[in-house]
Amino acid sequence: MRQAGIGTILDLVFNHTGESDLQGPTLSFRGLDDAVYARGQDGSLINDAGTGNTLDFGYAPVRQMTLVALRHFVTQAGVDGFRFDLAPIMGRSPGFDPRAAIFADIAADPVLADRVMIAEPWDIGPGGYQLGAFPATWLEWNDRFRDDVRRFWRGDGSAGALATRMAGSTDIFGPTVTRTVNFVAAHDGFTLADAVAYARRHNHANGEDNRDGHADEVSWSAGEEGQGRAEDVRALLATLFASRGTIMLAAGDEFGRTQGGNNNAYAQDNATSWLNWEARDRELEAFVAELAAWRRAHPAIGAPEVRHDLSWSDVRGDAMTPAAWDGADGFVMRVGDGAGVRVDRGRRCVEVLPPHQA
């Protein structure tokens, strides 16, 4: 992969062990050092991971274990970076602190300092949503990109919010460098194809009476549950590839994989969650390849630096004003390197004129 110019990002879960709560088995640190677990003032286990226990990164051996593991994967496996599950837990004491010791340790480590670090910037504990709060060298999953893009194409989101996300989410990450990891679907939740085919979850097979999984996904169907439009999938993908920052595409979404409306299929080790390579949509696959080639040809789109090279107009070439953004069904985004992107949810064919010069 490296010879082909493809790096490796390893997804790691350092926030808990598989020993659950006080009633769980002794499999890991419980049998070695019970102090690794975060506890409340009353001595009860803190459960910010939703698994029954949470590791305490204020305890030096937990940080040491983490650093040793990270160094191993870099030196022995050549890993280029890491994505951290429920990453706020790494900075809790018990509240989140972006200056927490583990972040400083990683930044100062000669093996790890130049690796890519990506945070899933939320956990289920108090104050657990920390999008935009991680160290300046870290990238962050941006769920507001996912939701604002989906809302726009569903028909109830604003063009202004979409433009903000496509421009790098400077309202979250600041005016100089964007640290956003843009995505429209991930391993949690609906697949991309299911997000435009199901307005609600269908998780009965999970054995929890359809109560598990997110109940408020931004999704829709084309009439009946399970019916989707190919153009909706393409619109979401094109928006992703035309947006500033790092982009992430969930495996299989490039060829239309479905989980039948199950948005919490982690426990389904069967055809529900497997990638069906034989049934892949080859036309969609080719479309995604074209999007990737277009993005590669316009590197300014993916640049992390927030450049003042974007201009916004309507299809007539008039600059977008605050009044024009209100209720707009689309816009034209132009990039300084010559790239142009027309966004229109009106499903109509229109002529796009060049921007008027002031």
Q: pLDDT tens per residue, the chain (358 residues)?
A: 888 889 999 999 999 999 999 999 999 998 899 999 999 999 999 999 999 999 999 999 999 999 999 999 999 999 999 999 999 999 999 999 999 999 999 999 999 999 999 999 999 999 999 999 999 999 999 999 999 999 999 999 999 999 999 999 999 999 888 999 999 999 999 999 999 999 999 999 999 999 999 998 999 999 999 999 999 999 999 999 999 999 999 999 999 999 999 999 998 999 999 999 999 999 999 999 999 999 999 998 888 887 788 999 998 889 999 989 988 999 999 998 788 899 999 876 666 666 665 4
Q: Could you list the active site residues?
A: 85, 120
Topology (CATH level 3) of domain 2-308: TIM Barrel (3.20.20)
Q: Where are the domains of the chain?
A: 2-308
Return d(Cα 80, Cα 115) in angstroms, integer. 6
* Phi, psi dihedrals of residue 15, rounded to the nearest 5°: -90, -15
Which of 153, 233, 217, 144 has the alpha carbon at shortest distance from 180? 144
* 32-77 pLDDT, tens digit each: 999 999 999 999 999 999 999 999 999 999 999 999 999 999 999 9
The interaxial angle of helices 60-77 and 101-108, nearest 10 deg, is 30
Please answer whether residues 194 and 259 qualify as being in contact, where contact means their C-beta atoms are separated by less than 8 angstroms: yes
Residues in the chain: 358
Return d(Cα 20, Cα 52) in angstroms, integer. 4
Q: How many CB atoms lie within 10 A of CB 200?
A: 15
